[in-house]
Structure 1
Amino acid sequence: MSLLEVKGLKASYGVVPALHQVDFNVNAGEVVGILGHNGMGKTTTLRSIMGFVKVTDGDIVFEGQSLKGLSVNARARRGLGLVPQGRMIFPTLTVRENLESGIATGKQPMEPIIDEMLSLFPRLERLLDRAGGALSGGEQQLLALARCLCRKPKLMLLDEPTEGIQPSIIDEISDTLKQLAKTTDITIVLVEQNLDFITGLSDRVYAISNGVLDRQIPEEQLKDSRAVSEFMGFVT
């Protein structure tokens, strides 16, 4: 059984339609990519799954149960976590305080969780007392990933993690996510424009265009950027 099933999903911002038809599934332990250009509906898809955007039709089923009507917090308690576009860390809090904000209170001591995050993201250790807003864009992205992982999500939704990030940290993020995928049972849905990044991580990749996501890109085409563009309708 799929961990996540998105079926006939439509969503809107007020009266403005944003998603017209989104259909895909994710099995437990998979990394599934969603590839598309700006404005095609990638972010809206993740925000709809997390509960931030109004769904007007279709269903989102997680672990066999519909998420209809559940708040963002309720979905987080079920095991969903979102690393949003733009990172959205707390700029006036220190790195340590940002990490602490991601830990579910009352569940378990904070220090072992923080130590685990520092082992995954060693670059953050020397920055623990620095304000989040003083970090570089790449360091903020590492912090956003670590903060999300503090809650031990079953499903992590990643929105454009390479946007505005220097190549060295892109490689660091890729290596860490590969390690997570191999050594834990976390499931990841990743939306991206960076073809090399998404193909290097994902078990399967879907294409989204103009709010419609219903096609998986054939594996043999993923090795050719022009073939991907043709598949998505951006080359004639």
Structure 2
Amino acid sequence: MAPHQLPAVLFAALAFFLALAVPSLAGDPDMLQDFCVADYKSLKGPLRLNGFPCKKPENVTANDFFSNVLAAPGNTNNPVGSTVTAANVENVPGLNTLGVSMSRVDYAPWGVNPPHTHPRATEIIFVIEGSLEVGFITTAGKLFAHTVCKGEIFVFPRGLLHFQRNNGGAPAVAISAFNSQLPGTQSVAVALFGASPQVPTDVLVRALEIDGGVVEAIKAKFPTKY
């Protein structure tokens, strides 16, 4: 089976995992109606009131709850050898206020999804193809790592630093589910070296115990976005 082919039975299993990913204390506020499809047209500026405004019910269609965004493999031809394709409230309007989202992660041979956090969600990852070495680090500095093979899952607690690495010489694919409509992702490397304004070099020198020239060289690899 090609890595981009996701059988219907696997999506059925993922629906079950999504249900598990919504604990009684969810990352997002509880909804007060059947649905609140995101009305992108009326939104001017950033998210408001912890979410998107609702589309009028009479304008809602089945397509608001549908997406094929995870069907195609992502381009892994990049320095880290992985790419994340998100299905969240920003591209699936029906997810607004429902407290769930998903992502597809494609890995080149030996590709890495670098250390990062999701500040607003717990994540459960389901390996579709290949084998991944995964792990998260607690606030006490302890690493919990495991090899996760095809058909197996692993959980990353909300807000904790975690990573994944393809263990093999063939492409790998995984699906992640989150208990937030917009879990957010903060890459450690980008946060430290690509922030705007930049984190002062002397702060990073002391924190990482490396030379200032090394810090500046790394910063040059992460151009700021703003």
Q: TM-score, normalised by structure 1?
A: 0.26
Bigger radius of gyration, 1 or 2? 2
Higher relative CO (CA 8 A, sep ≥ 6), structure 1 or 2? Answer: 1
Larger relative helix fraction: 1
